[in-house]
Chain A
Amino acid sequence: MIRVEDLSVAFRAGGRVVPAVRGVSFAVPKGAAFGLVGESGSGKTTVLRTIAGLIDDWDGRIEVDGVPMGAKRDRAARRQLQMVFQDPYGSLHPRHTVARTLAAPLRLHGVGERDRRIDAALADVGLDRRFRYRYPNQLSGGQRQRVAIARALILEPAIVLLDEPTSALDVSVQAEVLDLLDRLRRERALTYILVSHDLGVVVRLCETMAVMRNGEVVETATASAFRKGAVATDYARGLIESSRGYRRETRMAEVAEAGIRTT
């Protein structure tokens, strides 16, 4: 169970205060998958990073399995919560091979049978043994993203925070990854929070989702309500509408109005 109550996060940058998250609340029962969607820059990554304990300065209340955040979490508790970062390039060590990247968490937590686990974790995301010896800059974008997913899952955590985990994957590999996440959830009652701009992916994996805009949750709805278009805000309706595809005529009128100049 993850409970977030009235969470606010502000960054200080260049003498200014940037209110990134403003009074966000939601609860995710054990074994559930919760989606966070919405505007680029609205604070989704910041919410995940705060839950993962990567941001020190925040207000509100966060509870993971009854333990309030801020209290010291021991190694076993930390192992239970893993995150797949939005930016796989930035989150993988550039001088570590794939095998070393995957071995590191196993070693840290004293887990045995490392070779077997590494091969299995790679196979789960559609990568064969050859990739063990590659460095991040020797992988394609989607291959890097799959290594990041494998790293988060290799410790068999109870909670996984997924920040745009399939944004660089073609739809067939994406389907494999979503199937894998579904299967793990059924087998081990994993809890997920999934951030994605792809509403199709979110309704595929999650039962409930929150829509964020400008630091706030503007609406929380079930995936089936989203499927039916039965949402309360114009903003969520706009997202559903835009998911159907690009509309040349409407958009060109917008550009003409804004008078965009390049050189």
Chain B
Amino acid sequence: MTAGLEIAGLRVAYDSIRGPVVAVDGVDFTVGHERVALVGESGSGKSTVGRAILRLLPPSAHIAADRMTFDGIDLLGCDERRMRRVRGGRIGMILQDPRHALNPVMTVGRQIVESYRAHGGIGGTEARRRALDMLAAVHIRDPERVFAAYPHQLSGGMGQRAMIAMVLAAGPDLLIADEPTSALDVTVRHSVLAILDELVIAHGMGLLIITHDLNLVATFCDRALVMRAGRIVEALPASGLAEAHHPYTRALFAAAPTL
């Protein structure tokens, strides 16, 4: 049995009235106890890869792979019951549109508490205490208020942090984070990254982070996978991104406005 995420020959096509849209066209990679960045132009298939791992794609999507396993579990072949235990518990996912992903009719606090209770096996009082601690840890100014709030009463970045708190509450072994900090100011962003960092370093969590933020990739991640039109065109150490060879990778980051 091998540890971590192993993907080989992943393909995803969406049905559409104008014929199939091939979004992922044969992708191979692994994620161990490390921080891996998935980067690439808008529409290149990054979110589709992230969601395919947890089979969170719409019915119009067709997934195929030669191999897609996590710690030996066959993610493509296992039944829905097994998959439900993997989702949230073993593998957590932060979706690209967090406020859309949170339950709109349930308070933020209840959503985090349920995540703690379902996966941590702890009682209500303890779960509540931890939920408030987690909101404070992601630099929510007034945790009590946000605990009692509904998602539409939060700012964009507060919703993103509520989503992160909920997913981390389940203590995942692998976290797939799709643009997890795009709505955060840089100061809060780094505090949130530090929490993820700690989980990787001290708890051996694996992290697959989808992002457009070159700075984040270069200073936070170990490796970077570069996608274009459904394929990985280059894989390189994150710190070497500035010296990337592939012309696409170079072009992708050349236009970043700097301070």
Contacts and interface: CB of A to CB of B under 8 A. Distances in A.
Interface of A: 11, 13-14, 16, 18, 37-41, 44-45, 86-87, 89-90, 130, 133-134, 137-138, 140-143, 146, 164, 167-175, 178, 197-201, 203-204, 214, 226-227, 238-240, 242-248, 251-252, 254-256, 258, 260-263
A173 B42 contact: yes
Given A18-B145, A168-B96, A175 B257 contact: yes
A255 B198 contact: yes
B71 interface: no
B156 A45 contact: yes
B43 A13 contact: no
Interface in B117-147: 119-120, 130, 133-134, 137, 140-141, 145
A141 B212 CA distance: 12
A189 B14 CA distance: 42
Contacts of B214: 171
Interface string B157-189: 110110000001111000000110011111111
Contacts of A170: 39-42, 212, 252
B16 A138 contact: yes
B197 A87 contact: no
Contact of B259 (A137, A174, A240, A247): A240
B42 A168 contact: yes
Interface in B206-253: 212, 214-216, 218-220, 251-253
A172 B257 CA distance: 10
Given A40-B188, A242-B189, A252-B201, A171 B153 contact: no
B191 interface: yes
Interface residues of B, number: 75
Contact of B137 (A137, A214, A251, A260): A260
Contact of A203 (B116, B160, B179, B259): B259
B182 A167 contact: yes
Contacts of B178: 141
Nearest to A235: B187
Nearest to A40: B157
Interface of B: 14, 16-18, 39-43, 47, 58, 96-97, 99-100, 116, 119-120, 130, 133-134, 137, 140-141, 145, 148-149, 153-158, 160-161, 168-171, 178-179, 182-191, 193-195, 197-199, 201, 203, 212, 214-216, 218-220, 251-259
Contacts of A141: 42, 47, 96-97, 178-179
Contacts of A39: 185, 187-188
A114 B86 CA distance: 48
Contacts of A37: 185
A164 B183 contact: yes
Given A140-B47, A142-B43, A168 B257 contact: no
A262 to B, nearest CB: 5
Contacts of B253: 171
Given A168-B96, A240-B259, A252-B197, A40 B137 contact: no
6 contacts: A40-B155, A44-B155, A143-B43, A173-B42, A245-B216, A255-B197
B138 to A, nearest CB: 9
Nearest to B141: A41
Contacts of A239: 185-187
Nearest first, the 6 closest Cβ-Cβ pairs linking A and B are A40-B157, A142-B42, A263-B171, A245-B219, A251-B194, A242-B186
Contacts of B189: 197, 242
A263 to B, nearest CB: 3
Contacts of B194: 251-252, 254-255
Contacts of B198: 252, 255-256, 260
A263 B170 contact: yes
A117 B42 CA distance: 23
Of the listed residues A41, A90, A143, the one surrounded by the most CB atoms of chain B closer than 10 A to its CB is: A41
Contacts of B140: 41
B137 A16 contact: no
Contacts of A130: 18
Given A13-B145, A41-B158, A130-B18, A251 B42 contact: no
Nearest to A140: B43
